[in-house]
Amino acid sequence: MELRAYFEKYSDEATCIEELKNKRLENGILCRKCGHNVHSFRQNDLKFQCRKCGNRISLRSGTVMENSNLPIRYWMICIELMTLSHRKLSILKIQYLLGHKRYEPIWLMVQKIRLVMKIRDEKYRLRAYSEFDPEFLQKIDKLAIKKKAKE
């Protein structure tokens, strides 16, 4: 997704909360108390409530955003920026782009996201063999022939 389209889709905090809520419900939520999997969402305090025992689970609990007071929109924007960029973005640049006054919360957010990305990358590492497109290999051969011809 292009960054422009991303900002149009998630234009405010309420939209980001709704998206996170839907993702959590899609993945399934288990009550820590009774193990029941049917919950209702309480919009006033952003918590899921178990329909069997009434136990409440925060929207952020069990995610990288747990125990953070930063807006969910900050998290979603930062994750998008970090996954779109091929090179590392500085934390100061992210702080500037988000328009946040303090460095420390943004630093902590970026460190948590990097840790989760590292764990994910280790889980899905390529093993055994890699497959190349034959056209790609032909282009490599042509470049190698041209380079040898120049020498």
**Has residue 128 got a pLDDT over 70?**
no
Residue 141's pLDDT is 76
In whole angstroms, what is the distance from residue 113 CA to residue 89 CA? 13
**Has residue 137 got a pLDDT over 90?**
no
What is the gyration radius of the CA atoms in the chain, in angstroms? 22
CB-neighbour burial class of residue 76 (10 A; exposed 0-12, middle 13-18, buried 19+)? buried
Residue 147's pLDDT is 73
Mean pLDDT of the chain: 84
In whole angstroms, what is the distance from residue 109 CA to residue 88 CA? 15
**The two three-digit tokens of residue 31, written as one number:** 């009550």
In the chain, domain spans: 12-61, 64-118
Query: Which SS3 state, helix, strand or coil, does residue 59 take?
Result: coil
